[in-house]
Amino acid sequence: DQQVKQNSPSLSVQEGRISILNCDYTNSMFDYFLWYKKYPAEGPTFLISISSIKDKNEDGRFTVFLNKSAKHLSLHIVPSQPGDSAVYFCAASVGSSNTGKLIFGQGTTLQVKP
């Protein structure tokens, strides 16, 4: 039972344009959502998070949107840069402050073309 799903295995965008990565979840008890970026041969790097009580969080070029009624979140990267090319994972947590258990999606490979 996959509680967090990233339905697009890959995404290709032109440098300078917007990248939109999507994630759906099924468990309404999730209270914190996170995005991680992963390069080959490295561990995932924390990018940005959002609490379930919010619908938007912004950090520089990265913005995460949460639609609780649709159980959907998205990561917007504007403008996209070639260095953003990596695998992006969304993850969710229940009982956020006291649990170190994250449920990850399968990942989306983003390619940003110069």
Partner 1 sequence: KAGVTQTPRYLIKTRGQQVTLSCSPISGHRSVSWYQQTPGQGLQFLFEYFSETQRNKGNFPGRFSGRQFSNSRSEMNVSTLELGDSALYLCASSKQGEAYEQYFGPGTRLTVT
Q: Is 103 in the site for partner 1 (CB under 8 A)?
A: yes
Please, which residues have CB within 8 angstroms of residue 80's CB and are 6 or more apart in sequence? 13, 14, 15, 16, 17, 18, 19, 110, 112
- Contact pattern for partner 1 over residues 55 through 94, marking x by CB under 8 A: ----------------------------------x-x-x-
Q: Is 46 in the site for partner 1 (CB under 8 A)?
A: yes
Q: Is 32 in the site for partner 1 (CB under 8 A)?
A: yes
Taking the C-alpha atoms of residue 114 and residue 4, their distance in angstroms, rounded to an integer, is 31
Taking the C-alpha atoms of residue 17 and residue 24, their distance in angstroms, rounded to an integer, is 23
Binding site for partner 1 (CB under 8 A): 32, 34, 36, 41-46, 49, 89, 91, 93, 96-107
